[in-house]
Amino acid sequence: MGIEVRLNKTLDASYSAFAMDGPEVVGSTLGTVNGELATLNSIHVIPVKRRSGIGTVMFHAFLDWAKGLGAKRLAGEFKPEFGNCAAGHFYNAMDVKITDKTLYKDLDG
């Protein structure tokens, strides 16, 4: 697929990354780690590139980074773009539990 996930900066435990398709930015991720808790603040893929695995690559890149810092749980606010029902399917595919407006995943094992 040729997607490169490029880490922009790590300030303390803040994560900001772009997914690059050659020179083109096709996605972005923002998150943090605080102790054992990883928070995914935002994950976004440009509309014309959706459903080609970029979100999956970015999600796992974030989890790898978070686990490397000792995170044991992922949590966050579930706030899909208005009218976008893809997010629920995406998190389901990533084995993330969604309850009302929150998301959760154990990172152990």
Binding residues for ligand COA (CB under 6 A): 43-45, 50-56, 78-81, 84, 86-87, 89-90, 93
Phi–psi pair at 85, nearest 5 degrees:
-95, 5
Q: How many whole angstroms separate alpha carbon 109 and alpha carbon 16?
A: 25
Name the minimum Å distance from CB 4 to ligand COA: 15
Query: For residues 35 and 80, which CB has a smaller minimum distance to ligand COA in the complex?
Result: 80
Specify whether the CB–CB gap between 65 and 96 falls below 8 A: no
Q: How many whole angstroms separate alpha carbon 71 and alpha carbon 48?
A: 32
- The residue number with the shortest CB distance to ligand COA is 55
Query: For residues 10 and 84, which CB has a smaller minimum distance to ligand COA in the complex?
Result: 84
Q: How many whole angstroms separate alpha carbon 6 and alpha carbon 17?
A: 6
Query: For residues 28 and 107, which CB has a smaller minimum distance to ligand COA in the complex?
Result: 28
Name the minimum Å distance from CB 52 to ligand COA: 5
